[in-house]
Amino acid sequence: MLPWSLGWVLACANTDSQDSPRLPDEQVEEEVPCVDTFPVHVMPEMPTDYETPLPIREDALPELLSETGLYTDQGDIHQALIAFTPRWSLWSDGADKVRWVYIPECSPIDSSDADNWELPVGTRLWKEFSVDGQRVETRLMERLGPRPQDWAYASYLWDQDGTQARKVGIEGQNQALGTTHNIPSRAECQECHGPASKGGGRPSRSLGFTAIQLDHSDTETDLNALASRLSEPLESDPLTGPDTTVQALGVLHTNCGSCHNPSRDGLPQSDLDLSLVWGHPLEQAGVFATAVDQPTQLFATPSVRHRILSGDPHGSAVLRRMETRGNSAQMPPIGTHQVDEEGTAAVRTWIESL
Ligand code: HEC
Ligand code: HEC
């Protein structure tokens, strides 16, 4: 496609040239405007008086999941969406999860910072949860505007026979459909996906649709197809190292790194860094500089004085807090009630090996 100014110059050159009359097939190429499959949902208007409470951004999102663009009228996943699986999943008490993203066709992802992609306005991300084979909840995040805070978060609760899902209130819902699964409140969504002022997160807001999480072989995401949507190419650079270390650091990255990371949106009250950086060798991971053989700063019990104590899982606050549920020592503090046996085993084995 020609930029309009170039098109105009060519058009002028053609009309001015007396010697070479314009042939019908030499028509100046018309600018075809790019149109996104889904328009951006419009943010609620902000009241100008002091009495009216501020609307919540999720008010812009539809009441029914079927109106969010996830499905076609036939009930299939819309073809404009990309299914993806992060390399390491967040532990959600054993729930099964499936994820999709819609990237507006007319805007690239600004991928200049590989760890914090800037997703274009209009991006929508969905994650569906099933418990014991029953579809329970589908979460949606959408970027409504250009500012970092212009993201809306919502959760849709399925009905018992799995035909329709409806948006739940901002308080979330415990024991959804009579299962042990709790739908988090909007405040909790932001503690992991939001800005530092809401608890923690990353500037990208997305935590699984990221370079480091997509760069693995057993994924349905076509990274080559995705490459055309990125402003900077994604040259595959999967983490390599001893299996024990890769597994443990991956578990920490996905379960803890949403809050414990050094980005501007990471948890403000602690310098603990449990995240991984794309393209960095494993030994440069923040966990070695900020946790291994480092004293705890906030967490104090007589038997635990280190964030991670080499060779001593029992003396490591990171593992002790992963093994705790139901009190203020639990980590992550939200989103789970059961211990992640596989994840804790990976971290325990790695600490023993240090
Ligand atoms: C305990 C932290 C935590 C909480 C609370 C949380 N999430 Fe997430 N979420 C994650 C992580 C980590 C991922 C990526 C890993 C995965 O999907 O397993 C993720 C993935 C997602 C995805 C897929 C896109 C992406 O970022 O990869 C959506 C959509 C999503 N979450 C929406 C929500 C919504 C809406 C809420 C609140 C109702 C919420 N989440 C609550 C941590 C959290
Ligand atoms: C939703 C945000 C969030 C997530 C996710 C999260 N944490 Fe935390 N973490 C906090 C907060 C808030 C504190 C400070 C208050 C406290 O210590 O309870 C903290 C403190 C800590 C501390 C104490 C650091 C010190 O120096 O005393 C450790 C250790 C810790 N977290 C480990 C973890 C581990 C391990 C995970 C993942 C399994 C994790 N956290 C996931 C929010 C989070």
pLDDT tens-digit map of 167-215: 999 999 999 999 999 999 999 999 999 999 999 899 999 999 999 998 8
Ligand 1 center from residue 207 Cα (angstroms): 7
The residue with tokens 């057993």 is: 218
CB 231 within 8 A of CB 109: yes
Ligand 1, atom 40: nearest CA belongs to which residue?
Answer: 189
Last residue of a domain, one of 238, 264, 296: 238
Give, as one character, the DSSP assignment of residue 342.
Answer: H
Name the CA dihedral angle for 211, 215, 218, 222, rounded to a multiple of 10 degrees. Answer: 70
Tally the domains of the chain: 3
Q: DSSP secondary structure string, 108-123?
A: -BB-SSTTS-BPPTT-
pLDDT beyond 70 at 12:
no
What does the DSSP 8-state code read for residue 74?
Answer: T
**Is residue 6 domain-shared with residue 48, that is, in the same domain?**
no
CB-CB neighbours of 161 under 10 Å: 8
Angle at Cα 299 formed by Cα 295 and Cα 304, nearest 5°? 60
Alpha helices in 96-205 (DSSP H): 186-193
Residue ranges of alpha helices (H) inside 174-311 are 186-193, 211-214, 223-227, 243-256, 286-290
The verdict on 207 and 273 lying in the same domain is no
Region 116-129: mean pLDDT is 97
Q: Is 333 in the pocket of ligand 2 (CB under 6 A)?
A: yes
Q: Domain check: are 129 and 184 in the same one?
A: yes
Would you say 125 and 140 are in contact if contact means Cβ atoms under 8 Å apart? yes
Do residue 125 and residue 265 come from a single domain?
no
Based on the domain organization, do 178 and 231 belong to the same domain?
Answer: yes
Residue 4 has pLDDT above 70, yes or no: no
Do residues 28 and 106 share a domain?
A: no
Estimate to the nearest angstrom the gap between the alpha carbon of 112 and the chain centroid: 17
Nearest atom of ligand 2 to the alpha carbon of 340: 38
If asked whether residues 195 and 318 sit together in one domain, one would say: no
Supply the pLDDT for residue 284: 94
Same domain, 185 and 255: no
| Residue at which a domain ends, from 198, 223, 238 | 238
- Separation CA 86–CA 220 (nearest Å): 10
Tell me, yes or no, whether 196 and 247 share the same domain.
no
Inform me whether the pLDDT recorded for 17 exceeds 50: no
Give the pTM: 0.91
pLDDT in tens, 274-316: 999 998 999 999 999 999 999 999 998 989 999 999 999 999 9
Q: Residue 49 sits in which domain range? A: 38-238
The two three-digit tokens of residue 158, written as one number:
């399925």
With 60 as the cut, is the pLDDT of residue 6 above it? no
DSSP code for 194: S
What is the predicted pLDDT for the residue at 106?
Answer: 96
Mean pLDDT of 102-120: 96
Given this model, what pLDDT does residue 218 score?
A: 66
What single letter denotes the amino acid at residue 68? T
**Residue 24 scores a pLDDT above 60:** no
Indicate whether 336 pLDDT > 50. Answer: yes
Residue 90 Cβ inside 6 Å of ligand 1? The answer reads yes
In single-letter form, the type of residue at position 350 comes to W
Ligand 2 center from residue 273 Cα (angstroms) = 10
> How far apart (Å, rounded) are the C-alpha atoms in residues 248 and 157?
33
Q: Are 98 and 127 in contact (CB under 8 A)?
A: yes
Judge if 341 and 303 occupy the same domain.
yes
What is the mean predicted confidence (pLDDT) over 256-264? Answer: 97
The CB of 324 under 6 Å from ligand 2? The reply is no
Q: Tell whether ligand 1 has an atom less than 6 A from the beta carbon of residue 182.
A: no
- CA distances from residue 45 to 53, 60, 86, 147 in whole angstroms, order as listed: 11, 10, 35, 15
90 and 10 housed in the same domain: no
* Type of residue at 165: A
257 shares a domain with 233: no
Among 107-116, 125-134, 235-244, 302-311, name the one with the lowest average pLDDT: 235-244
> Which residue puts its alpha carbon closest to atom 23 of ligand 1?
127
Position 29 pLDDT exceeds 80: no
Place of tokens 């700063």: 297
Which residue did the predictor score with more confidence, 223 or 153? 153
Looking at beta carbons, which pairs linking 313-317 to residues 24 or more positions away fall under 8 Å? 313/347, 313/348, 313/351, 313/352, 316/351
The answer to whether the CB of 266 falls within 8 A of the CB of 258 is no
Atom 30 in ligand 2: which residue has the minimum CA distance?
318
Q: Percent of the chain having pLDDT more than 90?
A: 77
